[in-house]
C-alpha cells in the first residue's frame, strides 16, 4: 500500500518539478528527441543527426512567432491552456463526420507534448499532456511557454525549433529569415516531417496563404502582454 502511495505521489509531483525547472533552465534535450533517434536506428537511419539550438525569444523573428500564433492558437493569450470553444467545435465536427476529434490542441498542450512526452493519441499520453498543461499555465508565463514551444517543436525529420529549421530548410540563421520563410515554417507545423517548406504541396500552399491573409488584420499581442 505504501509503495503504491509513494509511486502515486511521485507521479503527481515529478511533472510539477519538471515544469518548475524549465521556468529557468533551457532544456538541452527532450524525450521526443531521444525517441526519434531510437526510431531512426530501428528504421536503419543510423546517420540521422539531431538539429537543435536554443534561441531566446527576443532573438526569434517576430514574423515567425506571429504566424505560429495565428496558425496554431489565436486564443493562446486568453485561455489557461485549454481552449474550450475549440474543444466543443472539435467534438461537433467529430460527431458530424464520425472521425476522431482533432484541431483543439493549444500551444501549451503542444509544448507539453514536445517538451515532456511523446507523439501519439493514447489516453495515457492525453492525460499526462493535460496534467503538464495545467502546471505549465500555473508556473510559466505565456512568453516562456511560447519561447519553449518555438525552440523544441518538431520542424522536420530530426529538426527541432526555429533556429535549426532556418538552417536546415533555408541555410540561414533564424534572424535572417524573410517574411515568407517565417510564415512557411509556421505553416508546416501540423506535418513537419511530411511537408517540405521549399517544395510545398497544394495543401501546404493553401495553409501558407490562409495565414498570410490573416496577418494584416490581426495584431500580435505578445508585446502588449509584457510577459
81-137: per-residue pLDDT in tens? Answer: 888 787 677 666 655 655 555 557 899 999 999 999 877 777 788 889 999 999 999
Task: Determine the length of the chain.
Answer: 227
pLDDT value, residue 82: 85
CA distances from 27 to 20, 61, 147, 161, 190 (A): 12, 21, 11, 12, 23
Tell me the range of 8-17, 26-35, 218-227 where mean pLDDT is highest.
26-35
Task: Return the biggest CA–CA distance within the chain.
Answer: 59
Separation between Cα atoms, residue 36 and residue 158, nearest integer Å: 7
pLDDT tens, residue by residue, 64-92? 999 999 999 999 999 988 887 876 776 66
Q: Is the pLDDT of residue 166 over 70?
A: yes
Superfamily name with CATH number, domain 15-219? Biosynthetic peptidoglycan transglycosylase-like (1.10.3810.10)
pLDDT value, residue 225: 44
- pTM comes to 0.88
Amino acid at each position: 500500500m505504501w509503495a503504491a502511495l509513494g509511486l502515486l505521489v511521485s507521479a503527481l509531483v515529478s511533472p510539477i518539478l519538471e515544469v518548475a525547472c524549465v521556468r529557468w533552465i533551457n532544456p538541452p534535450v527532450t524525450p521526443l528527441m531521444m525517441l526519434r533517434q531510437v526510431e531512426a536506428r530501428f528504421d536503419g537511419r543510423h546517420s540521422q543527426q539531431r538539429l537543435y539550438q536554443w534561441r531566446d525569444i527576443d532573438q526569434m523573428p517576430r514574423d515567425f512567432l506571429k504566424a505560429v500564433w495565428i496558425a496554431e492558437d489565436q486564443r493562446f493569450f486568453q485561455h489557461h491552456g485549454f481552449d474550450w470553444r475549440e474543444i466543443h467545435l472539435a467534438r461537433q465536427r467529430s460527431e458530424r463526420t464520425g472521425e476522431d476529434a482533432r484541431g483543439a490542441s493549444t500551444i501549451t498542450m503542444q509544448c507539453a507534448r514536445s517538451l515532456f512526452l511523446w507523439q501519439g493519441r493514447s489516453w495515457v499520453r492525453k492525460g499526462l499532456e493535460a496534467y503538464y498543461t495545467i502546471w505549465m499555465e500555473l508556473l510559466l508565463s505565456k512568453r516562456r511557454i511560447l519561447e519553449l514551444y518555438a525552440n523544441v517543436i518538431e520542424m522536420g525529420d530530426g529538426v527541432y525549433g526555429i533556429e535549426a529549421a532556418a538552417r536546415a530548410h533555408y541555410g540561414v540563421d533564424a534572424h535572417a529569415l524573410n517574411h515568407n520563410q517565417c510564415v512557411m515554417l509556421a505553416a508546416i507545423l501540423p506535418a513537419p516531417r511530411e511537408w517540405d517548406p521549399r517544395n510545398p504541396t497544394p495543401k501546404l500552399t493553401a495553409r501558407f496563404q490562409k495565414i498570410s491573409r490573416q496577418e494584416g488584420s490581426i495584431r500580435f499581442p505578445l508585446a502588449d502582454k509584457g510577459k
